[in-house]
């Protein structure tokens, strides 16, 4: 798997993201007052009154599955990158003028991350690389993050985001089944007949099936793209759906993830499923999350004390598809950190890290590769960005039932992303999607405590309450 992946990707299709209003809020005020006017509007055209995702964000998400590569001079662009180049300045202006809510710690951290990447690349490779590659890192990271910050500003737009994402996976699934059964990547061939795309990366079959690459650079990236939205689809789109429709949608995401036949995405899928099940079965237990946290803390200590492996080694060794894959990742972990120790400040940039000659040059670990490339500052800034987004969302109080359900959906998906990040490096479309995710929940933090407390989602259509459905 390439370390320096910088190719393009993705199909020019996505069903309309317009949908039913995601429930009425029972309160003295209307649902519109309770859900859509508590946070600042994005400033994008009609965003304050719309309950669907603004068109620039919808276009960007759709472009993630368009795999065309467009070479302009020394730049290798894709449709999603071009959209971000166009939108990054307007989004930053809207953010600075308060149209994306308050300025958050995570906003500053993600900016500092991009600045440090440019500095470290300049120190390792020179000014030209710092400007070109550092600029593209800023476009991909800041562009996707702040596009979400200004586009997803209320519960309706969050619902619409989940609907667009589900529609993309549902579109890809029939082609993925065909690819898995026949070994032929029909979708990549169709797009390749119009403009250049990345190469068909054929890998050895597993269980007699081809590992589906779809429109992405590698099968594991297809798996990451699909698994990252399992909980989001189940608990956001499923909140107002019948059980049959909810599980059909969730099953679509699970099936798409399966066809990647990659242990990392499948592990993330299982983790999200277990979190959903835990919440539902213990829904009446107030301290269920404290109990779960205590369980994992005990498990961590038990492995650390009783096993001759670290927790990371234990995880990749026993949850990989093959022993060889597990040992490969353990070696990457050891030699990757050796590289960090040898180059602690600026990292090694896009150079290959020191390792035995027989090892592949890739670093299949997102949470490690930022340390290797950009030193301790770059790695720490990325981890802190993710951590601040997750913790501030997890600790948010004062949401109504609908908003709290969306919050949990987001947190479960983020835990899945965190899990799979230990077994794969995110690049191209999945990286952009994850940066978009990081910026998509800030609207929850701008809701003032007590303003919507006690409001409940109207689920009469489905004949149940939101908190009683798994």
pLDDT greater than 70 at residue 16: no
Confidence of residue 10 (pLDDT cuts 50, 70, 90): very low
pLDDT greater than 50 at residue 27: no
Burial of 376 (0-12, 13-18, 19+ CB in 10 A): middle
Task: Give domain limits for the chain.
Answer: 31-468
Give the pLDDT confidence score for residue 42 in this predicted structure.
Answer: 53
For residue 373, which of 347, 355, 336 has the smallest C-alpha distance? 347
Give the pLDDT confidence score for residue 88 in this predicted structure.
Answer: 96
Burial of 132 (0-12, 13-18, 19+ CB in 10 A): middle
Residues 130-146: tens digit of each pLDDT = 999 999 999 999 999 99
pLDDT greater than 70 at residue 371: yes
Express as a percent the part of the chain with pLDDT over 70.
Answer: 81
For residue 226, which of 240, 241, 206, 211 has the smallest C-alpha distance? 211
Query: What would the two tokens of residue 345 be?
Result: 């400040």
In whole angstroms, give the CA distance from residue 235 to residue 373: 36
Give the pLDDT confidence score for residue 328 in this predicted structure.
Answer: 80
> For residues 41 and 159, which has the higher predicted lDDT (pLDDT)?
159
> How far is residue 102 CA from its own chain's centroid?
23
DSSP H or E run through 367: helix 366-394
What one-character-per-residue DSSP string does 323-349 give? HHHHHHHHHHHHHHHHHHHHSTTT--T
For residue 225, which of 290, 175, 173 has the smallest C-alpha distance? 173
Give the pLDDT confidence score for residue 22 in this predicted structure.
Answer: 41
Q: Kindly list the distances between the CA atom of residue 156 and the CA atoms of 47, 327, 405, in Å, as whole numbers in the listed order.
A: 11, 45, 13
- Backbone φ, ψ for residue 75 (5° rounding): -90, 135
pTM: 0.84
In whole angstroms, give the CA distance from residue 349 to residue 323: 30
- Tokens 């061939």 locate to 189
pLDDT greater than 80 at residue 123: yes
Burial of 163 (0-12, 13-18, 19+ CB in 10 A): buried
Are 336 and 365 spatial neighbours (Cβ–Cβ below 8 Å)? yes
pLDDT greater than 90 at residue 126: yes
Average pLDDT, rounded, for the chain: 84
Residues 386-428: tens digit of each pLDDT = 999 999 999 999 899 999 999 999 999 999 999 999 888 999 9
Residues 6+ apart with CB under 8 A from 12: 62, 63, 66, 79
Are 269 and 254 spatial neighbours (Cβ–Cβ below 8 Å)? yes
For residue 469, which of 222, 247, 280, 231 has the smallest C-alpha distance? 280
- Tokens 């990742």 locate to 329
Give the pLDDT confidence score for residue 105 in this predicted structure.
Answer: 95
Give the pLDDT confidence score for residue 465 in this predicted structure.
Answer: 38
Q: Is 25 helix (H, G, I), strand (E, B) or coil?
A: strand
In whole angstroms, give the CA distance from residue 199 to residue 455: 51
Query: What would the two tokens of residue 449 be?
Result: 């405590």
Give the pLDDT confidence score for residue 339 in this predicted structure.
Answer: 95
Give the pLDDT confidence score for residue 282 in this predicted structure.
Answer: 87
How many CA atoms are closer than 13 Å to the CA of 287, on its beta-carbon side? Answer: 4
Confidence of residue 175 (pLDDT cuts 50, 70, 90): very high
Confidence of residue 462 (pLDDT cuts 50, 70, 90): very low
DSSP H or E run through 71: strand 70-72
Confidence of residue 458 (pLDDT cuts 50, 70, 90): very low
Residues 241-292: tens digit of each pLDDT = 888 899 999 999 999 999 999 888 999 999 999 999 999 888 888 888 888 8
Mean pLDDT in residue range 202-227? 90
Q: Is 133 helix (H, G, I), strand (E, B) or coil?
A: helix
pLDDT greater than 60 at residue 12: no
Query: Count of CB atoms within 10 A of residue 202's CB?
Result: 12
Give the pLDDT confidence score for residue 449 in this predicted structure.
Answer: 67
In whole angstroms, give the CA distance from residue 129 to residue 133: 5
Express as a percent the part of the chain with pLDDT over 90.
Answer: 61
Confidence of residue 41 (pLDDT cuts 50, 70, 90): low
In whole angstroms, give the CA distance from residue 424 to residue 220: 7
In whole angstroms, give the CA distance from residue 403 to residue 410: 11
> How far is residue 381 CA from its own chain's centroid?
17
Give the pLDDT confidence score for residue 319 in this predicted structure.
Answer: 62
pLDDT greater than 70 at residue 71: yes
In whole angstroms, give the CA distance from residue 228 to residue 385: 18
Residues 304-322: tens digit of each pLDDT = 777 766 776 676 666 665 6
In whole angstroms, give the CA distance from residue 33 to residue 447: 12
Give the pLDDT confidence score for residue 301 in this predicted structure.
Answer: 83
Give the pLDDT confidence score for residue 286 in this predicted structure.
Answer: 82
Residues 99-113: tens digit of each pLDDT = 899 999 999 999 999
pLDDT greater than 60 at residue 460: no
Confidence of residue 298 (pLDDT cuts 50, 70, 90): confident
pLDDT greater than 50 at residue 21: no
């Amino acid at each position: 798997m390439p370390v320096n992946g910088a190719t393009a990707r993705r199909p020019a299709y996505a069903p309309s993201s317009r949908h039913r209003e995601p429930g009425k809020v029972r309160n003295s005020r209307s649902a519109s007052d309770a859900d859509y006017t508590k946070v600042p509007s994005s400033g994008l055209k009609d965003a304050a009154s719309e309950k669907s995702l603004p068109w620039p964000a919808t276009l960007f998400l759709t472009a993630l599955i368009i795999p065309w590569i467009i070479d302009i001079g020394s730049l290798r662009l894709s449709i999603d990158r071009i959209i971000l180049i166009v939108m990054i300045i307007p989004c930053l202006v809207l953010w600075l003028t308060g149209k994306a809510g308050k300025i958050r710690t995570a906003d500053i951290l993600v900016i500092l991350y991009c600045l440090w990447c440019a500095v470290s690349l300049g120190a390792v490779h020179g000014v030209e690389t710092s400007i070109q590659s550092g600029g593209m890192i800023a476009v991909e990271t800041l562009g996707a993050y702040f596009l979400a910050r200004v586009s997803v500003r209320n519960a309706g737009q969050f619902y619409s985001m989940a609907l667009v994402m589900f529609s993309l996976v549902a579109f890809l699934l029939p082609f993925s089944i065909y690819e898995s059964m026949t070994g032929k990547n029909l979708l990549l061939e169709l797009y390749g007949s119009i403009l250049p795309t990345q190469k068909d990366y054929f890998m050895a079959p597993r269980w007699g099936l081809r590992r589906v690459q779809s429109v992405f650079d590698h099968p594991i990236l297809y798996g990451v793209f699909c698994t990252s939205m399992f909980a989001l689809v189940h608990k956001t789109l499923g909140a107002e759906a019948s059980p049959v429709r909810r599980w059909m949608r969730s099953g679509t995401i699970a099936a798409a993830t399966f066809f990647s036949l990659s242990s990392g995405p499948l592990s993330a899928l299982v983790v999200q499923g277990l979190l959903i099940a835990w919440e539902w079965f213990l829904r009446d237990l107030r301290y269920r999350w404290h109990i779960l946290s205590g369980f994992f803390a005990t498990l961590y200590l038990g492995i650390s004390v009783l096993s001759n492996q670290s927790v990371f080694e234990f995880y990749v060794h026993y949850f990989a598809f093959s022993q060889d894959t597990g040992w490969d990742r353990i070696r990457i972990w050891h030699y990757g950190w050796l590289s960090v120790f040898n180059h602690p400040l600026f990292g090694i940039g896009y150079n290959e890290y020191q390792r035995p000659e027989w090892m592949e040059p890739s670093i299949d670990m997102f949470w490690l590769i930022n340390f290797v490339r950009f030193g301790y500052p770059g790695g720490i800034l990325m981890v802190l960005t993710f951590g601040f987004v997750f913790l501030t969302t997890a600790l948010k109080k004062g949401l109504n039932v609908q908003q709290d359900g969306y919050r949990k959906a987001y947190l479960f998906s983020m835990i899945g992303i965190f899990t799979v990040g230990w077994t794969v490096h995110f690049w191209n479309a999945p990286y952009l999607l994850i940066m978009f995710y990081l910026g998509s929940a800030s609207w929850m933090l701008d809701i003032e405590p007590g303003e919507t407390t006690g409001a409940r989602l109207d689920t009469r259509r489905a004949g149940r309450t939101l908190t009683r459905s798994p």
